[in-house]
Structure 1
Amino acid sequence: MTFAAVLARSRPGEIGVRDTTSAFTWEQVDEWLRPTVNALQALDLGPAGRVAVLAWNSAQTLLGYVACTLAGASAVAVNSHLTVPETAYILEDSGARAVLCDDRTAGVACAAARAAGITTVVAWGERPLPDGVTAWHDWALDTGEPRTDLAPRRTLVYTSGTTGRPKGVELPYTSWVGGDTIDVHLQRLTENRMIPFGRHLVVGPMYHSGPLTSTRLLAGGAPVTVLGKFDAQTLLQVIERDRIGSSIMVPTHFQRLLALPEEIRAAADLSSLRYVLQVGAKCPAPVKRAMIDWFGPIVWESYGASEVGTTCMISAAEWLERPGSVGRAVPPFEAYIRGDDGTPATPDTEGPLWFRDTSGHGITYITGARSGTDFTLGEIGRMDADGYVWITDRQSDMVVSGGVNIYPAEVESALIQNPAIGDVACFGLPDEEMGETLVALVVAADPGHPPTRAEIEQHGRSLLAGYKIPKRMYLVDALPRTAVGKLDKRAMKAIPADGTVAITPLDPEVSTAR
């Protein structure tokens, strides 16, 4: 008997999971999970027990992740925007033995699985499926009671870490309740502090660690609504319709909500909301203040990373007293600003922000690379005498656009393969809506026949997910470099606004904005 069968008895008729087109009562959740779990447990998943999930947000996608948990498998969260080569790399690197997908991602999943030597690809949905992909209803057939005495496994997500090459990292111990068996694991999930808030709303894509919180909440007994593509007005309507109690959002979601007409915002019934957690990137202070004014003191902020979970936390009340802060370190972490000699600096000193994991875990990737107990997330900050942290800059070149990490080095290595490009450099610039936007400076291989934006995009999309394609592109005669030949990123960031440097915008947006 799955947890959903138990809930079906105590809450008959309640919708356990729903999305924009379908709804599952707890009884139907149980009927979907039982055969899926049995089918997964019947597979040879190897020593790591990994199953990749490559699908867009839907009720079935959420259930697919939960089925992996109940089967004692490790779900590998794969970005649904990735190309076949990008996906194949993750499948091979993770050691996944099977792929769960939907009818929209089945083509990429099938091709990537073939490249990675995986033969089991299963998809849900109604659209025709390519050869080599099995329909879920033809695969999940055993409706018996699955085993619950197996050990649970942590979900695996991919993050670029401190380099542009994706690295697999398991769900951090701060988010992992453990347990020797699935039964014990499920019991511990019912103690999640967000369960009492009621129905949870998934806003972001489920291959990110924040939205994946929903899998633990559902397994712990909280009903969940899954949004598909983000739409601010739809979000407000769903909160009212489903009496949403909690959600996790990024600053871009806040900005798009605030951009709605005042009459739509004023008419929205948000009285059911009890907890909204902002994650993903530092939120502009005016945006954060406006959201607290609108939503009330229920807006919290979590600062951290997929590798370690939450390292700092701040409530709305604390933030109003210390605008811009990301809060104080939460156990088992201790925060400090690292001085030039490697020791903690005095309060209010700006410098590299570091953390110490007092549990001893630190960051460990599946490759075996480890950070040790002391680590940095690559940002500059300051900390006051009371331990509150402010993020002031970033050490690395990583660009955070709409809460998504983009590494310029990865994009550069893909674009330079275009024979029309002689040199290229990418970097981030501030963007009011997205936080940052990726910019590319392009040097033509043949100045007499420079590449067009369409040519660059077409080439880039064959190697990169669409969100990694630079939103702004400029043609330049040469890239600025330091005296020792290194790219001068500081100088590059000034070029788009520097009237003394000859550049040619490759997109109308930039051309009209200048």
Structure 2
Amino acid sequence: MHPFHHAQSQPNKPAYIMAGSGEAVTYGELDARSNQGAQLFRALGLQAGDVIAILMDNNARFFEIAWAAQRAGLYFTCVSTKLTPAEVEYIVKDCGAKALIVSPALDAVAQAVAPLIPGVRLFRVGGGKDGFEDFEAARAAMPTTPIADETAGSDMLYSSGTTGRPKGVKPALSGGPIDAPHALQMMAMGLFGFSGDSVYLSPAPLYHAAPLRWCMTVHKLGGTVIVMEKFDPEAALALIEKYGVTCGQFVPTHFVRMLKLPPEVRAKYDVSSITSAVHAAAPCPVPVKEQMIAWWGPVIFEYYAGTEGNGFCWINSDNWLAHKGSVGQAVLGELRICDEAGEPVPVRTEGTVYFANGPAVNYHNAPDKTAESYNQHGWTTLGDVGWVDEEGYLYLTDRKSFMIISGGVNIYPQEIENLLITHPKVADAAVVGAPHEEMGEQVVAVIQPLDPSVDQASLAEELMAFVRANLSHVKSPKRIDFMAELPRHPTGKLYKRLIRDAYWGKGEGGIV
């Protein structure tokens, strides 16, 4: 299925509603505007296989652009709104985007990026400004009929690597019709109970893989998406009641924030319409999930997968209650837990999580990173560590070694360490994730100062400002501690686990 089918059968049904403004875009409007967008892309000279980049907040025009690209056979790269201009520049150049479309909320970053990407056509929704053309005006001049050479496009999203350098995941285009069935569509119906009657709450940024793909899957099925411009726990409950929301995709931080509402606030709202609350992106603490199931009922589903799409694990509430802490059994690919030599290990033995006989992994312009994701058997990994039980349920014990997951956002320490070590007052630096009640983890930098007698409070403030000036704020340490000497081997290897474990209560003493 495809939105154009629903535009023909139920043109006045809302494809999505913006929660804050209340603006509704019907399937008829989505179809017409995405046709015009596809016509515009062809008029600009973009052909199947070309790339556009979208740098937008949760804006009402987001899906109109994404579906225009999809039906024009284009790749659409949705860029995080949390990145610095240099980081946006890298992604726009690396993906080979021929056009960049931004929203007013990103004006400051857009203006800084514009001179760094010569040759890229620049558009802005909400009116043209400072070198950015008016996207809606350009689109309005185009016919609402489909282009003559429709073919299915795809997202091309970026998944950061262990070095912190983003990696583009560029799936091969099918060359087939725009309404061809998709694996996620089948999973949404078969595993999570999505249908054309679904009312789906999307509480997260649309540039993320999960919100983007789940929302567009709901559009394929003919349901209605409720888009939150920004997550607020009580607002989410109010929207569930107001629209009779049946399903949604969350991260554990959303659960935590809703659970922390006063009991009388939680009790105000009727959430009985929910039949499928899906969560992923970060490990969910067992007590949090227990409380959510007790509150919402056995409607909590979890999956484990990556932007790369090389495998998929799934678990429902009943199976989770019998296997607490598990992220499920494989439904796409076959689980293999391997040692450092890439060989399988027995059940209940920790190792690197691989998928066998699943889709291939191929990182754009990064053959070395692609090679690193495979072992000698041809199995692929995202670098996560875990174990399986006798029934094949997967339990994650680490995430990409020392990757930090804060509020569902992946943060890679090495990029921050590489910056900190360039500061003239820093001799060595380690960045780890420490427990945080609401966000899951918070970024902590542990510094070995060049001058042991330095005033640590002043240096901490200086380093905080230094990082914020060079990296996006989500990567900035929320805490800076100091050590006289970091536990580094003479070969140069940093025993980061010794540092991290102290914060997680696994060490014999504190860091400081």
Smaller-chain TM-score bracket: 0.7 to 0.9
SS at structure 1 position matched to 2:438: coil
Q: CA deviation at 1:339?
A: 4.2
Aligned-partner Cα distance in 1 for 2:271–2:62: 27
Residues 1:429 and 2:428 aligned together: no
CA distance in 2, matches of 1:41, 1:67: 11
1:302 positional shift:
0.3
Aligned 8 A contact 2:340 2:352 in 1: no
Deviations 1:119-145 (A, max 9, x none): 31211136xx54111122322121331
Alpha-carbon contact 1:352-1:395 (below 8 Å) kept: no
Distance verdict in 2 for CA 1:380–1:189, change over 3 Å: closer
Relative to structure 1, the CA distance from residue 420 to residue 138 in structure 2 (aligned partners, 3 Å threshold; closer, same or farther) is: farther
Query: Tell me, which stretches of 5 or more residues in structure 2 are unaligned?
Result: none
Return the alpha-carbon distance in structure 2 between the equivalents of residues 476 and 54 of structure 1. Answer: 40
Question: Which residue number corresponds to residue 365 of structure 2?
Answer: 367
TM superposition shift of 1:49: 0.8
Deviations 1:54-84 (A, max 9, x none): 1111222232222211222110010011110
How many positions carry a matched residue from both structures? 493
Counterpart mapping for 1:20-39 below 5 A: 20-21=20-21, 22-39=23-40
Farther off after superposition, 134-143 or 105-114: 105-114
After the TM superposition, which of the residue ranges 311-320 and 268-277 deviates more from structure 2?
A: 268-277
Secondary structure of the 1:195 match is coil
Query: Which deviates the most, 361-370 or 67-76?
Result: 361-370
Q: 1:388 aligns with which of 388, 393, 415?
A: 393
Whether the 8 Å contact between 1:101 and 1:124 is mirrored in structure 2 is: yes
Give me the whole-angstrom Cα distance separating, in 1, the residues matched to 2:312 and 2:5. 35
Partner residue in 1 for 2:483: 476
User: Aligned with 1:97: secondary structure?
Assistant: strand
Q: Who is 1:409 aligned against?
A: 414
Deviations 1:99-137 (A, max 9, x none): 1110111332343243122431211136xx541111223
- Shift of the 74–425 alpha-carbon distance from structure 1 to 2, 3 Å rule, reads same
Residue identity matched to 2:278: L
Amino acid aligned to 1:400: I
C-alpha RMSD over aligned residues: 2.9
Higher mean C-alpha deviation, range 129-138 or range 468-477: 129-138
Q: CA deviation at 1:187?
A: 13
1:52 aligns to 2:53 (yes or no):
yes
Q: Which residue of 1 aligns with 2:149?
A: 149
What is the CA–CA distance in structure 2 between the aligned matches of 1:51 and 1:183, rounded to whole Å? 21
Which deviates the most, 312-321 or 236-245?
Answer: 236-245
1:452, 1:65 → 2: CA distance? 45
- Taking structure 1 as reference, are residues 3 and 365 closer, same or farther at Cα in structure 2, changes over 3 Å only? closer
Q: Which residue of 1 aligns with 2:14?
A: 15
Partner of 1:136: 135
How far has the Cα of 1:207 moved from its partner? 1.4
Query: Shift of the alpha carbon at 1:499?
Result: 10
Q: Deviations over 1:212-260 (max 9, x none)?
A: 1212322442221111111000011111112212111111111111111
The match for 1:180 is: 176
Moved more, 368-377 or 86-95: 368-377
Partner-residue secondary structure (3-state), 1:330: strand
3-state SS in 2 of match to 1:355: strand
1:236 aligns with 2:252: no
Spell out the pairing of 1:271-290 with structure 2 (5 A cutoff): 271-290=272-291
| CA offsets 1:293-312 (integer angstroms, 9 cap, x no match) | 11112211001211126521
Contact 1:58 1:227 in 2 (8 A): no
**Cα pair 1:51 1:99 within 8 Å, conserved:** yes
Q: Aligned with 2:414: secondary structure? A: helix
* Pairwise CA distance, 1:374: 0.6
Residue matched to 2:470: 463
The 3 A distance-change label for structure 1 pair 186 and 437 is closer
**Structure 1 match to 2:423:** 418
Seen in structure 2, the aligned counterparts of structure 1 residues 186 and 428 have a Cα distance that, compared at 3 Å, is closer
1:322-373 deviation per Cα after TM superposition (whole angstroms, max 9, x unaligned) = 1111111113x111222466432222223332221x14x3211112523343
2:132 maps to amino acid: V
TM-score (norm 2): 0.88
74-83 or 215-224: bigger deviation: 215-224
Q: 1:246 to 1:393 in 2, by over 3 A?
A: same
Q: Match of 2:15, as an amino acid?
A: G
CA contact (8 A) 1:109 1:121 kept: no
Residue 270 (structure 1) shift: 1.4
Say if 1:149 and 1:182, in contact at 8 Å, map to a contact too.
no
Where do 1:89-238 residues align within 5 Å?
A: 89-125=90-126, 130-140=129-139, 141-147=141-147, 149-170=149-170, 178=174, 180-184=176-180, 193=189, 194-196=194-196, 198-213=198-213, 214-238=215-239
**Which amino acid in structure 2 is aligned with residue 181 of structure 1?**
P
**Contact persistence 1:179–1:185 (CA under 8 A):** no
Give the aligned partner of residue 507 of structure 1. none
Q: Which amino acid aligns with 1:103?
A: P
8 Å contact 1:380–1:395 — kept in the other structure? yes
- Is the 1:86–1:463 Cα contact (8 Å) retained in structure 2? no
- Distance in 1, matches of 2:184 and 2:231, equals 31
Contact 2:467–2:476 at 8 Å: present in 1 too?
A: yes
Q: Which moved more, 1:2-11 or 1:69-78?
A: 2-11
* Contact kept? 2:196, 2:218, Cα under 8 Å: no
**Code of the aligned partner of 2:268:** A
Partner of 2:255: 254
In structure 1, what is the Cα distance between the partners aligned to 2:187 and 2:284? 30
Q: Distance in 1 between matches of 2:336 and 2:485?
A: 40
Q: Which runs of 5+ in 1 are unaligned?
A: 504-514
Deviations 1:403-426 (A, max 9, x none): 111110011122333334343221
Q: How does the TM-score come out when normalised to structure 1? A: 0.88
CA 1:46–1:11: 2 relative to 1, 3 Å: closer
- Tell me: CA distance 1:471–1:35, structure 2 relative to 1, closer, same or farther (3 Å): same
Instruction: Show CA shifts across 1:458-479 (max 9, x none).
Output: 3222321110001111233332
In 1, Cα distance between equivalents of 2:340 and 2:85: 44
- Residue 252 of structure 1 contacts residue 434 of structure 1 at CA under 8 Å; is this kept in 2? yes
In 2: Cα distance, 1:375 partner to 1:72 partner: 28
Deviation for aligned residue 1:165: 1.2
Q: Report whether the alignment pairs 1:335 with 2:346.
A: no
SS in 1 for 2:470: coil
The one-letter code sitting in structure 2 at the alignment partner of 1:489 is K
Matched residue type, 2:320: W
Q: 1:487 to 1:16 in 2, by over 3 A?
A: same
